[in-house]
Amino acid sequence: MIPAIFGCSGPELTEEERAFFREADPAGYILFGRNCVDPEQLRRLTDDLRDIHGRDRLLISIDQEGGRVARLRPPQWAAYPSGEAFDKLYRLAPASAIEAARAGAKAMALELSAMGITVDYHPPLDLRQSGAHDVIGDRSLGADPMQVAAIGRAILDGLTAGGVTGCIKHMPGHGRAMVDSHKEMPLVDAGADALAADLAPFKSLNKALIGMTAHLKFPVWDAENPATLSEVIIRDIIRDEIGFDGLLLTDDIDMEALEGTIPERSARAHAAGCDIVLNCWAKMDDMTGICEALPAMSEETTARLDRALEGTHVADDLADEAGDLLAKRDALLALTEEAA
């Protein structure tokens, strides 16, 4: 198995993709809007991916946070609010915010499970920072580490209850970025004392089964390499100080913050300590190059992947419970409007 997650080019697999995926045997797949037309089509696509590999517990993933980061959208799928909605409610009624986040995440997971999706890149644990670039912005669950950890835990629990594994991101923290790492490399000049607050939510949720790195430079820890490519940050900060021992993925290896070819970046990230390289754009040359650049998956990574997928479940249909959970979430979130 190749320690990489690949994208698909469209709503159906091409014959070239089908043959390549069968031979390459990647760790899993990531879906985008280009792959999602309607529930029937999407379930056919995920079933097709599972058939290629002959295993039900396959990592088929998506970015479904809510708000502006949602690959599944109405009218075909339910609507989900951004993290800011739970942030506002928490400041008014913490217990209600936690319950709303848990109910919403379980409803989301039930919908994803019915689509054949087993992993959601959610929740972001990045603290919201005044004056920072809005690449995080309203996606954040708040500015207070304890609050972010509490809501984040509720989201992880809700996803798990619905048969989907969540992913904490973006370690060691993306909230201070002053530029968008999709376009250029953010440089975070904060010292270790200030960054301790950024690490706190990740420490609280360090038993999460999957985590994702950030393409940011932190000179206080490593002056040369961004977190994704830094052996020092992955070993000393993510694995040691945060204490995360789950499956560690890169953020999209294609983002413009990183330099070098896609295979070169992938090899560097893997050598630095990332378990799996995430490649999103379904470019056959890049995927082939990644397979040539990476070794076969290690036993340690295989064990982490197996643990991450152990509690996942692919449902036959969308559970009736989903509607009640969404109604509960919306009733709780409405408390902020009533208090305004």
Count Cβ atoms below 10 Å from residue 327 Cβ, excluding itself: 12
CATH number at residue 258: 3.20.20.300
Report d(CA 220, CA 263) in Å as an integer: 28
pLDDT value for 340? 65
Which one from 38, 51, 56, 182 is the annotated catalytic residue? 182
Measure the CA dihedral 23/29/33/38, to 10°. Answer: 80
The reply to whether 306 belongs to the active site is no
Across 73-95, average pLDDT: 98
Which one from 251, 252, 275, 286 is the annotated catalytic residue? 251
Closest by CA position to 177, among listed 193, 191, 190, 194: 190
Q: Is the pLDDT of residue 130 over 90?
A: no
Look at the chain and report how many structural domains it folds into: 1
Sheet with strand 210-213: strands edge to edge: 168-171, 210-213, 247-249
Measure the CA dihedral 157/91/145/279, to 10°. Answer: 60
The reply to whether 182 belongs to the active site is yes
Q: Which two tokens stand for residue 315?
A: 């449902």
Q: What's the domain range around 244?
A: 2-339
Across 27-45, average pLDDT: 98
Measure the CA dihedral 288/115/313/125, to 10°. Answer: 70
Count Cβ atoms below 10 Å from residue 99 Cβ, excluding itself: 17
| 337: confidence class by pLDDT, cuts 50, 70, 90 | confident
